[in-house]
Amino acid sequence: MPVHANRTLRYVAVLVVLAAAVLAVGATTAERRALDAESEYVDHRLEQQAACLSDWGTDEGAGPSRDAEIRQVTLGGVYVDVTVPYAYTVGTGDDRVFADTASRATYVVTPTTTTRVGGDDVAVC
């Protein structure tokens, strides 16, 4: 078999494996799982800082919109970039400060796992 035919077969095989990875998880499922995981991450981080916050919540505020986008598909999983808005209030009375912001992160989603591999550290206090 000619060398270029072997190379073509390898490319086709890689494409089939990548397509199988996407189908195994599903684009919408991967995005939803990554968004849910980031919402949980932000909630957890805000709860850890509750002593200095008078109010907080995810998917709130006038900041960026909740969003997910598939960045890359590899044999190791589907890489999904997410944005999860959150708002918080520091202080009380006239000294209150309101903040609307968002957490941005990247997740690798496989059929059995959703792993945060990078992103913002939610530290508001």
| CA-based R_g, the chain, Å | 20
pTM of the model: 0.78
Q: Identify the pLDDT of residue 3.
A: 56
Query: Residues in the chain with pLDDT < 50?
Result: none
Q: Identify the pLDDT of residue 105.
A: 98
Query: Residue 37: is it exposed, middle or buried by C-beta count within 10 angstroms (0-12/13-18/19+)?
Result: buried
Q: Identify the pLDDT of residue 24.
A: 54
Q: Identify the pLDDT of residue 40.
A: 97
Q: Identify the pLDDT of residue 26.
A: 74
Q: Identify the pLDDT of residue 114.
A: 97
